[in-house]
């Protein structure tokens, strides 16, 4: 097992027995509702009927995964460099170091790589604990944090809430985004036009970005264009009435509320808090639109985006602070989730020191043996730890994948073949809808894939995973990153993959 794979087992001041007791993600019961100091326990995150709430007041998770200090049982962290996913060097989903301000007494570093770009800062007498994220990936990069608990808004208007210092100097720099996708796929993007922003669009989704600064000094922010995706095709919403700006300041939180039904969307925002998040002045409706969402249950993604901050003179990264992230509705149970850690090997790319977060896949035709590469050295397999298959009925892999559609045209012969625990190889070819999406200008060869896994291929405990490419060009090898294993119970309470997303033996 590589150092990257071992990283998932790292703990803070925990011995081996404690690690076993806490072993990954045997959760599935849903959310942890922890009210902040002074907040009534009956209304976590200010929600009367919270299905999920994270105030970050519990501090860093005992077991760290791709999400750094975030609890990997609650959050699936994904970072994506869509224009640099595979390249010479070689590299696989590279990220540069991010400068960060002081955050907690136990962590003195001022420049970090993932997962230390995602930290829960120490509280103070006047300030509650907050999540700090630093987004340094260049060229349309995305730090996306998906809440594992599904958000159900069937036959009702659901509410998503969050506090964040939503400063954006320009859409060419960094900004924040909230996405809602039907499928639990990592790091979705919106692809409004060719280079804003390239990457994997959702099959079905709602993409909301705070990217339009209303003042030249970044002192206020408004919603950019809001997009709905249906079967990978986008529709730009037409706002009803006027849109509004909210005043922002680095390090001071704004409060936002997103009210969404299948037919309508309202987004409210406050000016920045002047009393460390105790109150949020001038809360008003920023955006309103009618829509037709093709789903009523999905996954909320909290994202920090970096268009090209270095190229346009805005520095190497953007830093955001988050608090009180949650949503209301029924508590959806019957799921468990596990992750492959980021690769983490060092390298050099574009004259900068980087860390590779993904893995290259070779098919044996390029002078090296077929297999997974880190990206220089062959890795025998990846590993999911602490898997519990008891009571589960379905299993799926969720991941980001890259194929070279810059110089080639994807066909139905392209895909991946996967094997668990040295068992049967199973082929997963691109579907017609995925082929159209990945061949479209602006995909940069990126697609988010769900792969059905026969439950019989899995076992409780550790599970090894092997992947190989199928019929894909090797001039820029296929690459994968942000790999999750998602199990659901026979209750079927979590949406299943469409029938055309299946592994063919």
What's the pLDDT tens digit per position in 171-188?
899 999 999 999 999 999
**Burial environment of residue 83 by CB neighbours within 10 A (0 to 12, 13 to 18, 19 or more):** buried
Model confidence pLDDT, tens digit, residues 469-496: 999 999 999 999 999 999 999 655 555 4
Strands 130-135 vs 141-147: parallel, antiparallel or unpaired: unpaired
- The pLDDT value recorded for residue 16 is 30
To the question of pTM greater than 0.85 for the whole model, the response is yes
Q: How far is CA 32 from the centre of its chain?
A: 19
CA pair distance 359, 372, nearest whole angstrom? 6
Instruction: With CA atoms as reference, report the closest residue to 337 among 136, 212, 489.
Output: 489
- pLDDT < 70 regions, the chain: 1-42, 490-505
- CB burial class (10 A; 0-12, 13-18, 19+) of residue 322? buried
Question: Exposed (0-12), middle (13-18) or buried (19+): which is 23, by Cβ within 10 Å?
Answer: middle
Residue with tokens 């298959």: 389
Q: Which two tokens stand for residue 217?
A: 């000094």
**Distance between CA 255 and CA 86 in Å, rounded?**
38
Q: Which residues have a Cβ under 8 Å from the Cβ of 83 and sit 6 or more positions away?
A: 139, 140, 198, 444
CB 64 within 8 A of CB 115: yes
Question: Whole-angstrom Cα distance, residue 270 to residue 221?
Answer: 11
Sheet holding 415-420, edge to edge: 382-387, 461-470, 415-420, 426-429
Token duo for residue 70:
């975030």
d(C-alpha 80, C-alpha 481), whole Å:
8
Nearest 10 degrees: Cα torsion 465, 503, 441, 406: 50
282 Ramachandran zone, left/alpha/beta (phi>0; psi -120 to 50): left
Write down the pLDDT at residue 11.
Answer: 26
């Amino acid at each position: 097992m590589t150092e990257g794979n071992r990283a998932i087992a790292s703990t803070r001041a925990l011995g081996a027995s404690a690690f076993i007791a806490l072993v990954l993600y045997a959760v599935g019961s849903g959310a942890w509702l922890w009210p902040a100091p002074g907040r009534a326990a009956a209304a976590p995150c200010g929600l009367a009927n919270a299905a999920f709430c994270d105030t970050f007041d519990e501090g860093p998770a005992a077991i760290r995964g791709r999400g750094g200090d975030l609890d990997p049982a609650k959050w699936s962290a994904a970072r994506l460099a869509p224009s640099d996913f595979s390249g010479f060097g070689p590299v696989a989903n590279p990220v540069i170091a991010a400068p960060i301000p002081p955050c907690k007494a136990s962590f003195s570093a001022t420049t970090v790589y993932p997962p230390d770009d995602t930290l829960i800062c120490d509280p103070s007498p006047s300030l509650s604990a907050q999540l700090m994220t630093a987004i340094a990936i260049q060229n349309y990069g995305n730090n996306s944090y998906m809440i594992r608990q599904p958000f159900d808004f069937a036959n009702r208007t659901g509410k998503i809430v969050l506090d964040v210092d939503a400063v954006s100097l320009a859409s060419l720099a960094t900004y924040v985004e909230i996405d809602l996708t039907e499928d639990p796929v990592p790091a979705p993007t919106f692809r409004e036009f060719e280079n804003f922003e390239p990457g994997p669009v959702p099959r079905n989704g709602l993409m909301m970005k705070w990217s339009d600064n209303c003042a030249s000094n970044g002192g206020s922010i408004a919603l950019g264009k809001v997009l709905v995706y249906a079967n990978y095709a986008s529709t730009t919403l037409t706002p009803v009435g006027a849109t509004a700006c909210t005043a922002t300041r680095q390090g001071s939180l704004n409060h936002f509320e997103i009210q969404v039904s299948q037919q309508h969307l309202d987004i409210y925002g406050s000016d920045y808090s002047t009393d460390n998040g105790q109150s949020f002045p001038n809360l008003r409706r920023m955006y309103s639109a009618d829509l037709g969402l093709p789903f009523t249950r999905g996954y909320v993604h909290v994202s920090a985006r970096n268009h090209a901050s270095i190229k346009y003179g805005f520095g190497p990264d953007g830093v955001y602070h988050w608090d009180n992230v949650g949503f209301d509705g029924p508590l959806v149970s019957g799921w468990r989730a596990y992750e492959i850690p980021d690769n983490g090997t060092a390298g050099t790319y574009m004259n900068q020191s980087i860390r590779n977060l993904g893995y290259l896949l070779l098919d044996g035709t390029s002078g090296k043996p077929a297999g997974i590469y880190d990206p220089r050295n062959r890795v025998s397999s990846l590993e999911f730890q602490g898997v519990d298959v008891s009571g589960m009925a379905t299993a799926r892999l969720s991941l980001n994948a890259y194929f070279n559609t810059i110089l080639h045209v994807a066909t139905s012969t392209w895909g991946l073949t996967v094997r668990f625990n040295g068992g049967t190889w199973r082929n997963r070819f691109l579907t017609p809808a995925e082929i159209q999406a990945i061949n479209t200008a602006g995909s940069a060869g990126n697609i988010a894939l769900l792969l059905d896994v026969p439950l019989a291929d899995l076992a409780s405990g550790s599970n090894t995973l092997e992947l190989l490419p199928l019929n894909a060009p090797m001039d820029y090898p296929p690459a994968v990153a942000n790999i999750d294993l998602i199990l659901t119970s026979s209750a079927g309470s979590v949406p299943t993959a469409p029938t055309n997303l299946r592994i063919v033996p």
